[in-house]
Amino acid sequence: MSREKPKNLWLSRWGFVLAATGSAVGLGNIWKFPYITGEYGGGAFVLMYLACILAIGIPVMITEIALGRRGRGSPLDAIGRVVRENNGNPAWKAVGGMAMLAGFMILCFYVVVAGWAFAYTWKMLDGSLAAPSVEALGAVFESHNANPWALGGWSVLVALLTLLIVGKGVQAGVERAFRWMMPGLAVMLLVLVGYSFSNGSFGEGVAFLFTFDASKLSGEALLAALGHAFFTLSLASGAILTYGSYIPDGQSIARTTFIVAIADTCVALLAGLAIFPVIFANGMDPSAGPGLIFMSLPLAFQQMPFGTAFGVLFFAMVSVAALTSAISMIEAVVAYLNEKHGLSRPRGAALAGAVLLVISLLAMLSFNVGADWKLFGMTLFDGLDYLTSRWMMPLGGILMAILAGYCLRDGIMRDELGLSAGGYALWLFMVRYVSPVMIMLVFLHALGWLGFDPLVRWYWVLGAIGTLAVLGELLRPGMQRARVRA
């Protein structure tokens, strides 16, 4: 059994949990989840998203961490090593390459959104958010975006901070920052939910989030829910795999995954509960788009006691949460440059950072000067989000599931996961049949190749999983024998 020696390890038992939660909890939970839930009409979308977390996100996350720890390295090298240990095809490394590319592409638009959070911390302080209505706050958001110097300045600030931290090495910094940040964010969200409960249209908000209305389901919404499950757990983009490579042997991967996924989901649902009641109480349209939280929450801050101080703290927390996520997106690239090309961490960060600055500034221009620069009808900002969340990450997920479920020798993952027999069988069943089938069905449906609503008609799903299970069991011994001979 050729286990790789770890190069870096987390400082404490909780190191990985803290850092992975820090990566997972970010703008995806507080900004993106509410805004896309609003766009896709509420409850039905939320349910699909939760189903995707459970059936796809968690099994894929367990797989990804295990691959990282087994291969001990950046995504490309780690997957390469695991495949080599198995005498497999080195082409699998491409999955790691695609993951790193996806993480980097996400970062290019993420710094713009993180820039909003930073800018709003400042705007809470200087009084520019003292606008009387949702419309007036919408105008503040628009005028902030219309000015490329302001918008670009904040994105550059976020990018530089990220690079600075990554250049120094993440373990110590991230672990330390997390100890106070996560509890702080949780308390803030609870206070905001408390405010919404007593002053907002809480019932309406809850009904919007949790009433299942099947007519709101569409192929587009399913794909968005699937993509968001990947995005919010930072999956298939190098982050979790690289962090996983720093976990000491012997720590339970499955237990850790559950903690991270539950914390992440709770933060998203709390953010939804905090935001939608305020939106309904103020007659705002929940499908207002990416500006949703920036137009609604400042109104709540104005009305609550100590609102300004609270608002400053809140946006500061969101900024830190965004920063810890941003760090994780580029960590894989820096680890790769370090490991493969011998670049020191600061140099790797500088090199990646130069590219990041150029692309993120171009993405920032999507809100002003470059609003009309479109490829396939999308601005660069939207295009980066669409390509990564809807296609690259789910594709990476399906490939990792197939690699671990079908192609690796039985012992490797069993050894790495250290689960009970039942737990291992459950994981194997999920990555062999459930996760890939569901991702495939969502893809086919989004491409318009399936006429029915596959995930609504659950018997189609069960039928497909069953067929694949039988086929897989019939074909697998052949596949494995072929590999042994090769």
Applying CB under 6 A, the residues found at the interface with ligand TRP are: 23-24, 26-29, 103, 106, 231-232, 234, 237, 239, 325, 328-329
Tell me whether residue 447 is exposed, middle or buried, using C-beta atoms within 10 angstroms of its C-beta: 0 to 12, 13 to 18, 19 or more. Answer: exposed
When the beta carbons of 154 and 243 are compared against ligand TRP, the nearer one is: 243
When the beta carbons of 349 and 419 are compared against ligand TRP, the nearer one is: 349
Tell me whether residue 284 is exposed, middle or buried, using C-beta atoms within 10 angstroms of its C-beta: 0 to 12, 13 to 18, 19 or more. Answer: buried
When the beta carbons of 67 and 329 are compared against ligand TRP, the nearer one is: 329
Taking Cα atoms as reference points, which of 46, 22, 109 lies closest to residue 271? 46
Query: What distance, in Å, lies between the first and last C-alpha atoms of the chain?
Result: 20
Tell me whether residue 319 is exposed, middle or buried, using C-beta atoms within 10 angstroms of its C-beta: 0 to 12, 13 to 18, 19 or more. Answer: buried
Q: How far is the CB of 296 from ligand TRP (least distance, A)?
A: 19
Q: How far is the CB of 223 from ligand TRP (least distance, A)?
A: 16
Angle at the Cα of 187 from the Cα atoms of 29 and 13, rounded to 5 degrees: 75
**Nearest-angstrom CA–CA distance, 323 and 220:** 29
Q: What are phi and psi of 375, to 5 degrees?
A: -125, 125
When the beta carbons of 201 and 242 are compared against ligand TRP, the nearer one is: 242
Q: How far is the CB of 426 from ligand TRP (least distance, A)?
A: 25
> Closest residue to ligand TRP, Cβ-based?
28
Q: Which is it for the CA torsion 168, 170, 171, 177, positive or negative? A: positive
Q: How far is the CB of 389 from ligand TRP (least distance, A)?
A: 8
* One-letter amino acid for residue 402 of the chain: I
**Nearest-angstrom CA–CA distance, 78 and 423:** 24
When the beta carbons of 200 and 396 are compared against ligand TRP, the nearer one is: 396
When the beta carbons of 36 and 217 are compared against ligand TRP, the nearer one is: 36
When the beta carbons of 290 and 454 are compared against ligand TRP, the nearer one is: 290
Q: How far is the CB of 198 from ligand TRP (least distance, A)?
A: 28
DSSP code, position 201? -
Tokens representing 299? 């109104």
When the beta carbons of 294 and 433 are compared against ligand TRP, the nearer one is: 294
Q: How far is the CB of 319 from ligand TRP (least distance, A)?
A: 12
Residue 319 · residue 124 · CB < 8 Å:
no
Q: Which is it for the CA torsion 180, 183, 188, 189, positive or negative? A: positive
